[in-house]
Amino acid sequence: MNAARGETNLPIGGVARRLCLTLGALAEIEAAFGCTRISELEARMRTLSAADLLVVLAALLRGGGEGELATRLSEQDVAPGSAARAVAEAFRLGLAG
């Protein structure tokens, strides 16, 4: 994990996986939610459903180089609270710089 690059980890199936809010991941999330502005995305992120959380996690996994896992994320054992905290941390790190 490299926090300077905006990376954070999330245990998935007992293995620490890298999440990263890259520009590509951010664009993917905006497109999935139909957002055209960061302010719209910020509001949407406050009311994520479980399905939305999977969309965001998949994009962040792809940003972290975990694309193969992202395609089968719904089949994995992911703790919702840990996932929400990791997503928040990825956004905090990714938007800090």
Q: For the chain, 97 residues long, give each residue's pLDDT as a single digit of tens.
A: 777 777 899 999 899 999 999 999 999 999 999 999 988 999 999 999 999 999 999 999 999 999 999 999 989 989 999 999 999 999 999 888 6
Interatomic CA distance for residues 46 and 27, integer angstroms: 18
Q: What is the pLDDT of residue 96?
A: 80
Backbone φ/ψ region at 65: left (φ over 0), alpha (ψ -120 to 50), beta: left
Q: What is the pLDDT of residue 8?
A: 94
Cβ neighbours for 42, distance < 8 A, ≥ 6 positions apart: none
Q: List residues bridging with 20 in a β-sheet.
A: 7
